[in-house]
Chain A
């Protein structure tokens, strides 16, 4: 894949530490994410991915280190950060007792989008996701794959600069995963930065750059192609196994 990295660094992390008592969840992380790129944040369960993503979203504060997201500081300007990001958590967290359109209207309303615009764009979105028949159905009765696609669409409905996806495809069938990644590409083509964590290593191939976390540290950070060359591996799975065994 050919692409030119934007010079604008939309996420800057320098020497980030996050400690819970004596446990260090994030151990000296330093990395940047450039505008418009799909940045893969890989690691085994418990490697500290979710902890880092929560800090970047302004949901928790670092123990030390410098972190800027969309030009704002995570210590003091979390509300400004929140205006510029979308977030999809590991656990499905739209309101299950609201319908598809009610969820869209509710979240879009929080970001201050006008009623008229919400209505128009909801219709377009519902059509695109093929949810016309269930748009007035409570979300709890939808299959997981549909829910995940909807959650992603709601997370980017307000057209944020960055969208954080925390294991968006876990538990989803391969076809839906494929469709999900098509949606991610579409967002990235619109100059949205995508920060995605996953433990499916085949998905890492779809990213512009990936970082691999082991025990709270970033052990490798480069494009999938360079990583495979460097570790002399056939695919990302091998890269990961070599790193984890180190």
Chain B
């Protein structure tokens, strides 16, 4: 019963989460209101038609109809070109367009906004050149920002998400298995038989930890294989280094689980406490939102967040090919963490009934 849970669950999670947990926007549905109907406005519209990200699902000549579409969720964005757009542009050298974006999902709205503005300003630059008869390499007195994305050049979200989700899977499996374990023995009474033996506390904790450690490491290998085969994620750095870090990281996670398990008396309590810590750790880990954009206090909490360390290191090794020297700080931190929390778990385990 436990075996399928341990292996099928992460497989399905990996398949589903990676597809779902993405900020990549495709098929942005646009409601178009072109009140100008000039050649300039049509040319601007054609830029959107040519983009793979946009789909012009409807057009009309009234703002009302556009808003209706937005309310019914038939459109993500209303793009309105006012009357006299071309004329204003030519005579006043200035014209306005209006964007109305559905911001229920604020992250998605931000992305749509950025995409749309970049298409408009591209077109803007183009007409400056054309109307001034300037050559295309003409340096207008505007700042030309040049983007290039390193280590993940296509801004591929799968490459970004898979390493993080792998961390999540290994962490959840490890923390839950260990968090439920000792407390389960308390419930069924077998712990009492162990506690009357002269077994040493460290022997008991290590005996509890090792099986889960192997399972979790195996799970990581399993997940990486799936990631490589199904999503073709890059593995630039050394797998030895990755597993070396994972081995230490798992001691931290499993010790936290065992610690929770020694403190609580029922599996229910233990599960709630484990989930509490896991959710805090995961939300602050930088899996979905970059740690750098979190408030100061959250970044400080991340000093004791093992998940944040592993996600960072996982991405560094897999995507960037970082070596031991690059991750030495994280390695030292996680090693100290492992030592402290493991000792604490051993200390907290009581051989009393």
Contacts and interface: CB of A to CB of B under 8 A. Distances in A.
Contact of B197 (A54, A82, A92): A82
B189 A59 contact: no
A111 B198 contact: yes
A76 to B, nearest CB: 14
A110 B192 contact: no
Contacts of B353: 54, 59-60
Contacts of B196: 57-59, 82, 85-87
B198 A59 contact: no
Contacts of A87: 192-193, 196
For chain A, give the interface size range.
Answer: 20 to 34
Contacts of B198: 79, 82-83, 110-111
B192 to A, nearest CB: 5
Interface of B: prevailing SS? loop
B199 interface: yes
A94 B197 contact: no
B352 A60 contact: yes
Interface in A53-81: 54, 57-61, 78-79
Listed residue (A57, A60, A93) with the most chain B CB atoms within 10 angstroms of its CB: A93
B96 interface: no
Contacts of A85: 196
A59 B192 contact: yes
Given A93-B189, A93-B192, A78 B351 contact: yes
B8 to A, nearest CB: 21
A96 B187 CA distance: 13
Interface in B304-353: 351-353
A94 B352 contact: no
A198 to B, nearest CB: 19
A92 B190 CA distance: 8
Given A54-B353, A87-B192, A87-B196, 15 more contacts: A58-B351, A59-B195, A59-B351, A60-B353, A79-B198, A82-B196, A85-B196, A89-B193, A91-B192, A92-B189, A93-B190, A93-B192, A107-B193, A107-B197, A110-B197
Query: Across chains A and B, which 5 residue pairs bring their CB atoms closest together, nearest first?
Result: A59-B353, A87-B196, A93-B193, A91-B189, A82-B198
Interface of A: 54, 57-61, 78-79, 82-83, 85-87, 89, 91-96, 107, 110-111
14 contacts: A54-B353, A58-B351, A59-B192, A59-B351, A59-B353, A85-B196, A87-B193, A91-B189, A91-B192, A94-B190, A96-B188, A107-B193, A107-B197, A111-B198
